[in-house]
A and B are shown apart, each in its own frame.
Chain A
Amino acid sequence: MEKMNHICQLAPYCKVAGKDGFCNALCNPFILLHGEGTNGLWKATNVPRKYTNSFFHNLPIKEDNPVAYTFTKAYTANILENVENGVGLFFYSIPNGDNRLGTGTGKTTTAVAILHEYLLERVKQQSKGGRVIETNPALFYKASELQTLYNSQFRGTFDMQEKASLRYYKVKNLLMNAEMLVLDDIGIRQKITDAFENELTEVIDSRDSKVLMTIYTSNLPIEKLADTVGDRIASRIEGMTEQVSFKGKDHRKGGIL
């Protein structure tokens, strides 16, 4: 039977990775993490392909953001306990002359690295007979995508609206219950509607009440966040997170030449 260590994200930690009779498509942890190869919990995180290989060991922020790096190192060293205790994080940018919007500083990459580290630890935990995974351990969602999905309920034909509504409420339920959630780029839009603000408040408040861990990334510091998402949301985020700043040049710029 074909060995699976070349695609299994658990391989670096696994004693039987690459061993005949063990490392194959019948391995319990492999099926849990990857399904029949390209699915499972790994795909269910909704992490964009660009960030597939983001882990702590290859995190490219040490030079520009040594404090954030050290903090992340400490957080991931005890990640199961930190997430279970609902210790949330708020990653925001400090703009400078070269990077006036504070973009591309590694916030999302760091958030996804923490998400991946947690997911692997949870799969290892269950596989060893520990706490059973009953809902999404880790989920990534862009705040702007959520708003677009919310708005799609009111666009197009009746059938399209009905389908979009089903989708929206399913996603909302996942966002409210995932053990760890990365809500990316919150506050990116200039102003959100009152109706969507209510929805977002419900999600965030629910997670806060259930002591579920959330990582928010934003280009705005917490004191300015209220201008775009409202005071209620900003206040809740402040209360449920540790704030970590990111600075430096925009690493998205550069191109291939």
Chain B
Amino acid sequence: MIESQLLSKVLDENSFHSLNKYNIAETDFEAYSHVYSYIKGYVREYQQTPDYRTVVAKYEDFDYTASVSDSFAYLAKTLKGQSAKRKAVLRLAKVNENFKNMNGTDFAKWLKDEATALEAMANSSSSTMTNYATNGQERKEWYNENKENRSYTYIPTPYATLTEWLGGGFELGDYILLMAYTNKGKSWVGSDIGNTAHKNNFGVLHYSPELSKKQQVYRNDTLRGHFNNVDIRRGQLENETDYLEYLNGFNEENECPYYIKTMEDLPNGLSADVIEADLQQLNADGKIGLVIIDGFNLMKHPKIGRDGMSATSRQLRQIWGRHKVAGLVIHQTPTSSEKEMKTDEDELEVEIPCPQVTDYSETIAVVQDSATVLTFNQVQGRGRLLLAKCREPHVGKSIDLRCNFNLGYITEATPVDYF
């Protein structure tokens, strides 16, 4: 019986206040409300729960269960569910009486109010909340976990300064947006982020609807091994032996996965449901840390237009949180905003203007949903990555990148001692 199990666990672990966390009150107990009431009074007086023998001696009907293995969360949630159902029955017991006494309008109104109240009750029992007033202990545990697991919950970026600005990198569960004008190299930067995550032992699930499977794989080889991208595709590498040797390192012994899915693997298109299904199947062991969607606009949305894209974005946000993965969504800024700025005098400009979040009006939901927004631009090998939105106090800062995509170098410009 859930009531006795929960109270037994409270006695065993001397943790009456855990019940407050789940908002459990005397009215939630049907059979043992008197036992609950006694324990509560005892705790208030002595600041600890009584010995179980004291309780059993006092209330013979109390069915004490030793060493309950179920968690507080499970027991409390189940009790809340039962309590809600019981309260619903009690409320509905008045149906017959009211049906007789009330006129049609009043009865309909009463019925509607009761239904609304029942719905609220059911919802409150099915969701576990956080009672900020009572969860100090839990927060202590979180804080200590943060200290211990920091390197396991933050995915470092390929760029040291950005990693520092983000307080350690991309956090698992986060929604990250990378925006750029077309043909500037945003897929390269996305792949660079993916490969850095993988090299740091975070599994990657990379959806690349824009590229073919070979193109995406070769890009990874170029970024990791700096093999000439064009020459790999043509089979003309000068350092062919090095490449073949490098490929030997990619074998069944590697436990950390890097899954790539391109259009060839997605005959029905890429949707949030597909991603959810993939994560359920591939991330059962929690090895995947980063999901990359290279081309949000190429996804299949539930509806056409902004509403459809917004719905997908909201769904993705929930998926990242539910599966504890960082989700990197790569999106193209509408080229109209770039065209508006472009003139024949551009080659005189040395600034590299990054797209602003306000340039993007197609579906602002994508920007709103993201915890981190990066925008990127690149001109003639000079790149700029702007941190347009983030939780840390570094919004608006940018880093200079040196980009040679064909040789797989996207590096932060660091000071040199050449002069």
The chain B residue with its CB closest to the CB of A19 is: B418
- A14→B417 CA distance, assembly (Å): 9
Contact A39 B347 (CB under 8 A): yes
Residue B133 lies at the interface, judged by CB distance under 8 Å to chain A: no
Q: Which of A30-38, A71-79, A217-225, A242-250 contacts B (4 or more CB under 8 A)?
A: A30-38
Chain A, range 23-71, C-beta contacts under 8 Å to B: 25-29, 31-32, 35-36, 39-41, 43-44, 46
Residue B414 lies at the interface, judged by CB distance under 8 Å to chain A: yes
Q: Which of A86-94, A109-117, A125-133 contacts B (4 or more CB under 8 A)?
A: A125-133
Contact B348 A136 (CB under 8 A): yes
Contact A167 B343 (CB under 8 A): yes
Chain A interface residue bracket vs B: 35 or more
- A16→B348 CA distance, assembly (Å): 29
Residue A226 lies at the interface, judged by CB distance under 8 Å to chain B: no
Residue A170 lies at the interface, judged by CB distance under 8 Å to chain B: yes
Distance (whole angstroms) from the CB of A149 to the closest CB of chain B: 9
Contacting residues, chain A, for B347 (C-beta < 8 A): 39, 43-44
The chain B residue with its CB closest to the CB of A123 is: B419
Contact B418 A26 (CB under 8 A): no
- A171→B349 CA distance, assembly (Å): 9
The chain A residue with its CB closest to the CB of B346 is: A170
Residue A174 lies at the interface, judged by CB distance under 8 Å to chain B: yes
Chain A, range 161-175, C-beta contacts under 8 Å to B: 163, 166-167, 170-171, 174
- A41→B400 CA distance, assembly (Å): 15
Residue B55 lies at the interface, judged by CB distance under 8 Å to chain A: no
Chain B interface residue bracket vs A: 20 to 34
Partner of B380, one of A10, A36, A135, A137: A36
Residue B87 lies at the interface, judged by CB distance under 8 Å to chain A: no
Residue B351 lies at the interface, judged by CB distance under 8 Å to chain A: yes
Residue A15 lies at the interface, judged by CB distance under 8 Å to chain B: yes
Contact B381 A35 (CB under 8 A): yes
Contacting residues, chain A, for B407 (C-beta < 8 A): 1, 26
Contact A31 B415 (CB under 8 A): no
The chain B residue with its CB closest to the CB of A141 is: B348
Contacting residues, chain B, for A32 (C-beta < 8 A): 382, 413
- A134→B351 CA distance, assembly (Å): 6
- A128→B416 CA distance, assembly (Å): 5
Contact B414 A28 (CB under 8 A): yes
Distance (whole angstroms) from the CB of B149 to the closest CB of chain A: 34
Contact A31 B343 (CB under 8 A): no
Return the CB mask of A132-166 against B: 1 if under 8 Å, else 0.
Answer: 01111101000000000000000000000001001
- A15→B419 CA distance, assembly (Å): 6
Residue B345 lies at the interface, judged by CB distance under 8 Å to chain A: yes
- A72→B310 CA distance, assembly (Å): 62
Contact B381 A136 (CB under 8 A): no
Interface core residue of B343, B417, B419 (most chain A CB under 10 Å): B419
Contacting residues, chain A, for B237 (C-beta < 8 A): none
Contact B343 A170 (CB under 8 A): yes
Given contacts A35-B382, A166-B343, A167-B343, contact A29 B350 (CB under 8 A): no
Given contacts A35-B380, A36-B381, A136-B350, contact A29 B418 (CB under 8 A): yes
Contact A28 B343 (CB under 8 A): no
Given contacts A25-B404, A137-B350, contact A127 B416 (CB under 8 A): yes
Partner of B413, one of A10, A28, A36: A28
Contacting residues, chain A, for B287 (C-beta < 8 A): none
Given contacts A28-B414, A44-B348, A171-B348, contact A35 B402 (CB under 8 A): no
Residue B344 lies at the interface, judged by CB distance under 8 Å to chain A: yes
Contact A28 B402 (CB under 8 A): yes
- A40→B414 CA distance, assembly (Å): 18
Contact B382 A40 (CB under 8 A): yes
Interface core residue of B348, B380, B402 (most chain A CB under 10 Å): B348
Distance (whole angstroms) from the CB of A229 to the closest CB of chain B: 23
Chain B, range 105-147, C-beta contacts under 8 Å to A: none
Contact B416 A31 (CB under 8 A): no
The chain B residue with its CB closest to the CB of A15 is: B418
Residue B379 lies at the interface, judged by CB distance under 8 Å to chain A: yes
Interface core residue of B344, B404, B416 (most chain A CB under 10 Å): B416
Residue B409 lies at the interface, judged by CB distance under 8 Å to chain A: yes
Residue A3 lies at the interface, judged by CB distance under 8 Å to chain B: no
- A67→B170 CA distance, assembly (Å): 61
Partner of A133, one of B349, B350, B409: B350
Interface core residue of B347, B414, B418 (most chain A CB under 10 Å): B418
Contact B414 A46 (CB under 8 A): no
Distance (whole angstroms) from the CB of A142 to the closest CB of chain B: 13
Distance (whole angstroms) from the CB of B327 to the closest CB of chain A: 31
Partner of A127, one of B344, B349, B409, B415: B415
Contact A128 B380 (CB under 8 A): no
Contacting residues, chain B, for A133 (C-beta < 8 A): 350
Contact B349 A174 (CB under 8 A): yes
Contacting residues, chain A, for B351 (C-beta < 8 A): 134-135
Distance (whole angstroms) from the CB of B358 to the closest CB of chain A: 20
Distance (whole angstroms) from the CB of A114 to the closest CB of chain B: 19
Chain B, range 341-386, C-beta contacts under 8 Å to A: 343-351, 379-382
Contacting residues, chain B, for A136 (C-beta < 8 A): 348-350
Given contacts A26-B409, A36-B380, A40-B380, contact A46 B348 (CB under 8 A): yes
Which 6 A-B pairs rank lowest in CB-CB distance, beginning with the nearest? A129-B415, A35-B380, A39-B380, A36-B381, A124-B419, A170-B345
16 contacts between A and B (CB under 8 A): A10-B418, A14-B419, A15-B417, A15-B419, A16-B418, A28-B413, A35-B379, A39-B380, A40-B382, A43-B347, A44-B347, A44-B348, A44-B349, A46-B348, A135-B350, A137-B350
Known contacts A29-B419, A35-B382; 11 further A-B pairs (Cβ under 8 A): A1-B407, A15-B419, A22-B418, A27-B418, A28-B414, A31-B381, A39-B347, A46-B348, A136-B349, A170-B343, A170-B349
